[in-house]
Amino acid sequence: MSASTGIAVEVWALPKGDIPDAVARNVYAAVREALANVERHSRARTVSIALTLGKSGLRLTVSDDGCGFSPGTTGRGLSAMKAYFAEMGGDLTVNGVPGGGTTVSGIVPPRALR
């Protein structure tokens, strides 16, 4: 992404252990969609991706320093990301702050990781 857009990407992927293929596919699809939204809409200089695995499940956070968006904004990308997590019994939230960036946070529950 950095080479084609000029947006710096920081990645922290810390899962230790196996992740079921279906979970990996859905999380990857959500990350792709989040990055596509950053590229299309954010005017960000930096985007950070964090993926951790713990007792509470698998947590994904994608955060950018872009223009954010107004509360109540909807779109296909936001709906798709939420659907990927809902399919696994998880939850995903998207918080945009006008002028202050956007953070996508999702959690996949432990039961989906078995």
Q: Report pLDDT digits (tens) over 24-65.
A: 999 999 999 999 999 999 999 999 999 999 999 999 999 999
Question: Residue 46 has what pLDDT?
Answer: 97
**4 pLDDT higher than 90:** no
* Structural contact between residues 69 and 81, judged by C-beta atoms closer than 8 angstroms: no
Classify residue 111 by its DSSP letter. Answer: G
Q: How far apart are CA 17 and CA 6, in angstroms?
A: 33
State the chain's mean pLDDT as an integer: 94
Question: Residue 94 has what pLDDT?
Answer: 93
Tell me which H or E stretch contains 60: strand 57-64
Any residues with CB less than 8 A from the CB of 13 and at least 6 apart, and which? 49, 50, 51
Classify residue 38 by its DSSP letter. Answer: I
**1 pLDDT higher than 90:** no
